[in-house]
Structure 1
Amino acid sequence: MAKPDLENSVIFRFSLYGFLKNQRYFEPFLILAFHADKGLSFFAIGLLIGFRELMINLLEIPSGALADLYGRRMCMITAFVAYTISFVVFGVSSVLWHLYIAMLLFAVGEAFRTGTHKAMIFAYLHSKGADDMRVQVYGFTRSWSKIGSALSAAIAGGLVFWRGNYSDIFWLCAIPSAMNVINFMTYPDVVEAGRNTDVRGMRVFGHVWESVKIAWSRRAQRMLLLESSGFEGVFKIAKDYIQPVIKSVAIGLPFLAALEDQQRTAILIGLAYTLVHLVSSVASRRAHTIGKWAGGDESSAMWIWGVVMVCYALLVATLGFGWFAIATPVFVAVYMLQNFYRPLLVSRLNAVSEKHQAATTLSIESQLKSLVAMIVAPLLGFSVDQWGLWSVGLAGFVVSAAFWLNGRIAARR
């Protein structure tokens, strides 16, 4: 059986999904939109994000089981309909309870999407006898996601510069969401894992419970789930604090003095996020080469943990002393390292998981990540309000140091 090449039409559709999914024009300005436009404190923003992660936690594993049992494409379509409604509510309202409704809908989208599409990719590769291409193909499709994010950041910066506010950027996100619904309808049947229209709650939760027991009883799988939740859960919250850092840099730039503060911020954040996502795209596409260079996926992961630990330590120092211009490229480095790490982690987890429970296992991983983010978000928001941005670096350093040391100890046994 011939293995698929990266220009295969199905892999093109997988890549198109990631490109369209990442047309999220609000992301480079999310913290600033809530803080400046909607008047929320960092602690209130943390509570809102924590609520999102709680809702994802409640929905994630059942959504993965439904995808495995009854159809992944339908779950993806449901996710993107929920996203579209969420974007509209965020765009039109600043009322706090409206924002919670929008965040609930966004969480529905995240829960039904996360893990499901990766399982579709792996199901397709397995059908072609190409399991050894998991890191390469997933890294390739993820690189297109990052190219989409880069374009999204550039568009978002232009919109904020032109419109003079952050809320309008939510509106445009509905268009690529609708386009992705059409894209899913063209996916081949092989991406499905046993569609069944006889939906029974006990069968769904039986499938969930079986997957949880298997995942937690296997030490290799359990350790990977904990490792991922530590890395991704903290990164998921910490990464957005680059926005007030860049805003502080932008306001201090003399060659932009003729512009309004918001216009300066729009230019610099647009450029910074475009660079971040372009660099991340290259990192995702080259993730499989790190494994070869370091002597395997496990040693690659430990190397990445060590470098991330150093980066977070630098953030503690640079943000603590107000050296925001130095802190910005350190944030960019953490972004790049996360995009090296993620394809390696997904491949390692898939390699120790049962094939028929792929979507559920990846949803368990995402749920643990959301659980950590749910706890970290309000705590980090409160810390930033009370003590400043350096606490973002401290949180990342503590977690990365713990997992790096654990990996070093395990390697010596």
Structure 2
Amino acid sequence: MTGALDPAAARRRYAAVTFLFWFPVGLIVPSQVLLLGERGMGLETVAWLFAVHSLTVAALELPTGGLSDVIGRRVVLAASGVLCVAAFVLFALGTAVWVLTLAMFLRGVGRALSSGPAEAWYVDTVQSHSGADAELRTGLARGSTASAIALAAGTLIGGGLPWLLSLGPDWGARLTDATSGLVPPLAVPALLGAAVGLVFVACVLTRLPEPPRPPASLRDVLRGVPVTVLGGLRLGAGDALVRRVLLTAGAAGAALCTVELLTPGRAAALTGAPESGAVLFASLACAGFVCTALGSHAAPFMARWAGSGERAVPASLATGGAGLLLLGVTLLWRGPGALALAATGYGLIYLGLGAAGPNQNDLLHRRVDSSGRATALSVQSLVLQLVGALAGLVAGRLPAGPMPWLLGGAVLLAGAMLWIRRARPAAPATGSPSVPEPTAAAH
């Protein structure tokens, strides 16, 4: 592509749009359940609303990835931002269940549309400038770092805004009265998220140049998306390394879901009350995002230290697995250092997963060409979500105690073991989302 951005500029713009997408998500993490409760929604209704979001993302993950590969990265990413803006506004102002259900549906569609296009744009841009052997890991690490920092900063700001509005001359009450109760303080983070979402859309449209694509008619889209999706579903069967990446995504999903499911209850048990436990959990969530950012930033160093990205992945996953095992062990030993060990284990989980992600995706992008890149990322995301959901169901049925933590750690260590045998190098696929023939190291 003539006039393609140089890798440094592509890295900066990729990190910027990644931050702008995830910052609004972090903003509403601390307040969304509390806002729904203030709107009069019971726990059953809240669970239904979140299920709408999760099921929508799962159902549309692959078709939206295929759509990006057919019609382009920028238009799909901009559509994602527009839908997320609408979802945040409806969520902030909605009081009826059907409005909130629509908000969660639109948010799910926007999340599915966002899965892959920005990263695929970055890889396409760098490879068009520097060739298929261009260095990708640094930019992928910057993107992962940006998303983690955005979530950490958003969580802190989103949790602090309603509290700040309750100080001084009670600005929160004045805001509620001025809007006839439509905008309580807990709705402010969602409205701020909508404003940031508009900046995200503008940045995508003006800062992510793409090479011209031939116009795609509705027939082309209806025919091309299913073909691309089917190619994505065949990825794992066609190449041992791609299969490892997908299976590792499932192991990471199981670990993350275990931690997110069990940590709030453990935090409440440590502090002795649900309210103080919620504060501790918010602090832990922010610390986890920071550790993810540090791990992602260190991913290129890990690859150099281990000798290759393929060797860095199992080392990183083993670090995360050790953290989960450490959390399980601290339930059996309640000595004076148990709390410090538990905090160390929690940090190791996110540090290890943060370091593994960019190295895995660097390997993935070298096995899949541009025509199926976003679909491959969508397959990876779908595996993470589905295995995570299954792990959550299993962990919820296990007796309270160390067993769920130890099981999650064992799954993550099993994911690391998949990388012990190395696949033979293969050239990137060309012309379609298919991948090279299976290697001798296929599992």
Tell me the TM-score normalized by structure 1. Answer: 0.81
Q: 1:251 to 1:16 in 2, by over 3 A?
A: farther
Which of residues 150, 153, 159 in structure 2 aligns to 1:151? 153
Q: Does 1:40 align with 2:57?
A: no
Query: Which of 26, 38, 44 is residue 28 of structure 2 equivalent to?
Result: 26
Shift in Å, 1:28: 4.8
Q: Give the distance between the partners of 2:404 and 2:144, measured in 1 at CA.
A: 26
- 1:256 matched to which residue of 2? none
CA distance in 2, matches of 1:111, 1:78: 11
Q: Are the aligned partners of 1:243 and 1:269 in contact in 2 as well (CA < 8 Å)?
A: yes
Out of 133, 136, 139, the residue aligned to residue 134 of structure 1 is 136
Is 1:226 the counterpart of 2:247? The answer is: yes
Task: Tell me the CA shift for residue 406 of structure 1.
Answer: 3.9
Look up the match of 1:91: 92
Residue 78 to residue 308, structure 1, CA distance change in 2 (3 Å)? same
Which whole-Å CA distance do the structure 2 matches of 1:320 and 1:149 have between them? 32
Query: How many residue pairs end up in the alignment?
Result: 396
Residue 178 of structure 1 aligns with an amino acid whose one-letter code is L
| Residue identity matched to 2:203 | N
Match of 1:258 in 2: none
The RMSD of aligned alpha carbons is 3.6
By how many angstroms is 1:394 displaced?
3.8
Quick check: 1:245–1:328 contact (8 Å CA) kept in 2?
no
Equivalent residue, structure 2, for 1:276: 288
Cα deviations by residue, 1:250-288 (Å, 9 ceiling, x for unpaired):
557xxxxxxxx74x5676455444443333323212201
Give 1 or 2: higher helix fraction: 1
Instruction: Decide whether the 8 Å contact of 2:19 with 2:147 is kept in 1.
Output: yes
Contact 1:69/1:193, CA 8 A, preserved across alignment: no
What is the DSSP-based 3-state SS (H/G/I as helix, E as strand, rest coil) of the residue aligned with 2:130?
A: coil
The gaps in structure 1 that reach 5 residues or longer are 253-260
1:194 correspondence with 2:213? yes
- Deviation at residue 59 of structure 1 after TM alignment: 0.9
Are residues 152 and 214 of structure 1, via their aligned partners in 2, closer, same or farther at CA, if it must alter by over 3 Å? Answer: closer
Matches within 5 A, 1:277-356: 277-319=289-331, 326-356=341-371
Give 1:180's aligned residue: 200
State whether structure 2 residue 416 is matched by structure 1 residue 404: yes
Provide the residue aligned with 1:212 in structure 2: 233
Aligned to 2:16: 16
Task: Please state whether the residue corresponding to 2:27 is helix, strand or coil.
Answer: coil
Contact 1:14–1:141 (Cα < 8 Å) also in 2: yes
Does the C-alpha gap of structure 1 residues 49 and 140 become closer, same or farther in structure 2, counting only changes over 3 Å? same
SS of residue matched to 1:133: coil
**Is 1:357 the counterpart of 2:360 in the alignment?**
no
Tell me, in whole angstroms, the C-alpha distance in 2 between the residues paired with 1:48 and 1:396.
Answer: 27
Length-normalised TM-score, structure 2: 0.76
Kindly provide the amino acid, as one letter, of the partner of residue 217 in structure 1. G
CA distance in 2, matches of 1:208, 1:353: 13
Deviation at 1:117, TM superposition (A): 1.0
Aligned amino acid, residue 82 of structure 1:
L
Q: Distance in 2 between matches of 1:38 and 1:328?
A: 34
1:119-130 pair list within 5 angstroms: 119-129=120-130
Preserved contact between residue 87 and residue 174 of structure 1 (Cα < 8 Å): yes
Q: Is residue 46–residue 379 contact of structure 1 (8 Å, CA) maintained in 2?
A: no
Greater relative contact order (Cα 8 A, min sep 6): structure 1 or 2? 1
The alpha-carbon distance between structure 1 residues 247 and 178, as it changes in their structure 2 partners (threshold 3 A), is farther
- Determine the C-alpha separation between the residues in 2 that align with 1:321 and 1:98: 48
Partner SS for 2:75: helix
User: Distance between the aligned counterparts of 2:201 and 2:369, measured in 1?
Assistant: 28
Q: Does 2:396 correspond to 1:393? A: no
In 2, Cα distance between equivalents of 1:127 and 1:30: 41
Residue type at the aligned position of 1:286 = A
Once residues 406 and 98 of structure 2 are traced to their aligned partners in structure 1, the CA distance between those partners, rounded to angstroms, is 32
- What's the CA shift string for 1:60-86, capped at 9, x where partnerless? 111111111112111112212222233
> Which stretch of the first structure deviates more once superposed, 120-129 or 400-409?
400-409
SS of the equivalent of 2:70 reads helix
Shift of 1:389: 7.0
Q: Which moved more, 1:231-240 or 1:31-40?
A: 31-40
Question: Would the alpha carbon gap of residues 139 and 406 (structure 1) be closer, same or farther in structure 2, given more than 3 Å must change?
Answer: closer
Q: Distance in 2 between matches of 1:296 and 1:353?
A: 19
Pick the structure with greater CA Rg: 2
Equivalent residue of 1:196, what SS?
A: coil
Give 1:55-74 correspondences, 5 Å limit: 55-74=56-75
1:40-64 deviations in Å (ceiling 9; x for gaps): 27xx877765553332222111111
1:361 deviation in Å?
Answer: 1.3
Contact persistence 1:143–1:284 (CA under 8 A) = yes
Q: Please state how far the C-alpha of 1:120 moved relative to its aligned partner.
A: 0.5
- Unaligned 5+ runs, structure 2: 167-184, 424-440
Letter matched to residue 170 of structure 1: A
Contact 1:143/1:282 (<8 A) preserved? yes
- Structure 1 range deviating more: 292-301 or 146-155: 146-155
Q: Structure 2 vs 1, CA of residues 352 and 87 (structure 1 numbering), >3 Å: closer, same or farther?
A: same
Native 8 Å contact 1:245 1:324 kept in 2: no
Aligned amino acid, residue 154 of structure 1: L
**CA pair 150-297 structure 1, distance change in 2 beyond 3 A:** same
